[in-house]
């Protein structure tokens, strides 16, 4: 941490703001930006493997040791979930408890398979319900929250500040007490016991709008101006210019929303068995006590595995966008 002292020493005023916006046509600006990007990319390639700044080795060591120690604790639930899923029943109840499996077996999964075939409605129905609820709740939210976030971040109109602060404040009101009024509203709308009762409220979560707005705020105004001059309308600007440039943001939001919807058992609104999601069906299996502990471990594994796969897909796309995201002004 030796570098900390240096920060205190007086810094020359950083001239990070780029040149003052000159009277350039969008085309010229585009060319300039491209040139600058090329230059940066060339520099980065040339220096590949060697850091741009002198980063102290001691600093590296401290940070990575810290990472290592914390990482072990963080990954613990994953390790336990995977190991428990392949443990035979006697190992699940062993003393002293072991984290790692000794005689891995797939009986838990075959037990689960047998149980699934005994379900009341065909198991594929639960899967279909989950897909509708999760994908519907996620895509819809990402799209309409982003649609609302773009004008809030970039345009000026009456009521802008008010609308935004209402969204931020809404996140601070305890969800537990609003549940009951929300239930009443859903009943009044007549969408109780339909997919809509889960999906429509999910579209209106405050967090997504806030997240998208914060990222869109960072986009340079010139980006939209040049599109406007070329005759693009607001929708086209939003869809073709803004959204591709905030890809890390909506991929992150998709992860949050997927998790949220995937974990939803829908038990509050869905009464018909043929509308209930996978999560509900799986929970019913695990509530069978000791004799179901094996199948329960397999269930825990499956419940965790799906969002993790989705997470990895999104995260690696977020990382890929990095090379193209250097366009800030």
Partner 1 sequence: MSVAARSTRTAPAKNTLWHEIRKNRASYLLMAPYFTLFFLFTVLPVLMSVYLSFNYFNMLEMPRWVGWTNYIKLLLEDDIFIISLRNTLLFAVITGPISYLLCLLFAWIINEFKPKVRAFLTLIFYAPSICGNAYMIWNLILTGDRYGYLNGLLLRIGILNEPILWMQTEKFVLPVLIVVQLWLSLGTGFLSFIAGLQTVDKGLYEAAAIDGVKNRWQELWFVTLPAMKPQLMFGAVMQITQSFAVADISIALAGNPSVNYSGATIVTHLLDYGSTRLDMGYASAIATILFLLMVGTNKLVQRLLRRVGE
Q: Does residue 191 bind partner 1 (CB under 8 A)?
A: no
Residue 298 CB, shortest distance to partner 1, in Å, is 14
**Contact between residue 264 and residue 196 where contact means Cβ atoms under 8 Å apart:** no
**Contact between residue 209 and residue 166 where contact means Cβ atoms under 8 Å apart:** no
Q: Which stretch binds partner 1 (CB under 8 A): 24-32, 146-154, 265-273, 286-294?
A: 146-154
Q: Does residue 201 bind partner 1 (CB under 8 A)?
A: yes
User: Looking at beta carbons only, is 138 or 209 nearer to partner 1?
Assistant: 209
Residue 111 CB, shortest distance to partner 1, in Å, is 20
By CB atoms closer than 10 A (0-12, 13-18, 19+), residue 264 is buried
Site residues (CB under 8 A) for partner 1, limited to 29-58: 36-37, 40, 43-44, 52-56
Q: At what angle are helices 57-85 and 293-321 packed, to 10 degrees? A: 140
Q: What are the tokens at 27?
A: 């085309």
Q: Does residue 11 bind partner 1 (CB under 8 A)?
A: yes
Q: Which stretch binds partner 1 (CB under 8 A): 13-21, 22-30, 119-127, 285-293?
A: 13-21
Q: Which stretch binds partner 1 (CB under 8 A): 110-118, 122-130, 288-296, 311-319?
A: 311-319
**Contact between residue 165 and residue 174 where contact means Cβ atoms under 8 Å apart:** no
Residue 121 CB, shortest distance to partner 1, in Å, is 23
Q: What are the tokens at 6?
A: 């240096």
User: Looking at beta carbons only, is 54 or 103 nearer to partner 1?
Assistant: 54
**Contact between residue 198 and residue 276 where contact means Cβ atoms under 8 Å apart:** no
Distance CA 111, CA 53 (A): 56
Residue 260 CB, shortest distance to partner 1, in Å, is 11
């Amino acid at each position: 941490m030796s570098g900390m002292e240096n920060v205190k020493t007086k810094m020359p005023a950083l001239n990070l703001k780029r040149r003052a916006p000159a009277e350039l046509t969008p085309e010229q600006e585009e060319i300039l930006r491209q040139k600058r990007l090329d230059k940066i990319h060339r520099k980065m390639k040339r220096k590949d493997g060697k850091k741009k700044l002198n980063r102290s080795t001691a600093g590296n060591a401290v940070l990575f040791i810290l990472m290592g120690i914390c990482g072990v604790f963080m990954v613990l639930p994953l390790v336990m979930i995977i190991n428990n899923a392949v443990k035979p029943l006697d190992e699940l109840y062993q003393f002293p408890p072991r984290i790692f499996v000794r005689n891995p077996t797939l009986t838990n999964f075959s037990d689960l398979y047998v149980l699934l075939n005994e379900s009341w409605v065909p198991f594929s129905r639960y899967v279909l319900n989950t897909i509708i609820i999760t994908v519907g709740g996620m895509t819809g939210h990402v799209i309409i929250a982003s649609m609302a976030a773009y004008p809030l971040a970039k345009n000026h109109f009456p009521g802008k500040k008010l609308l935004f602060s209402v969204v931020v404040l809404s996140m601070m009101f305890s969800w537990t007490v609003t549940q009951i009024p929300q239930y009443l509203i859903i009943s009044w709308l007549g969408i109780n016991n339909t997919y809509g009762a889960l999906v429509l409220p999910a579209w209106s979560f405050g967090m997504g709008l806030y997240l998208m707005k914060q990222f869109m705020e960072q986009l340079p105004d010139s980006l939209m101006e040049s599109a406007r001059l070329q005759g693009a309308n607001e929708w086209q600007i939003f869809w073709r210019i803004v959204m591709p440039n905030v890809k890390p943001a909506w991929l992150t939001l998709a992860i949050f929303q997927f998790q949220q919807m995937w974990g939803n058992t829908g038990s509050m609104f869905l009464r018909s068995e043929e509308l209930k999601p996978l999560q509900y069906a799986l929970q019913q299996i695990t509530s069978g006590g000791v004799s179901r502990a094996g199948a329960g471990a397999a269930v825990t594994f499956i419940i965790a595995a799906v969002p993790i796969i989705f997470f990895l897909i999104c995260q690696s796309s977020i990382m890929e966008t990095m090379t193209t995201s250097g366009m800030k002004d």
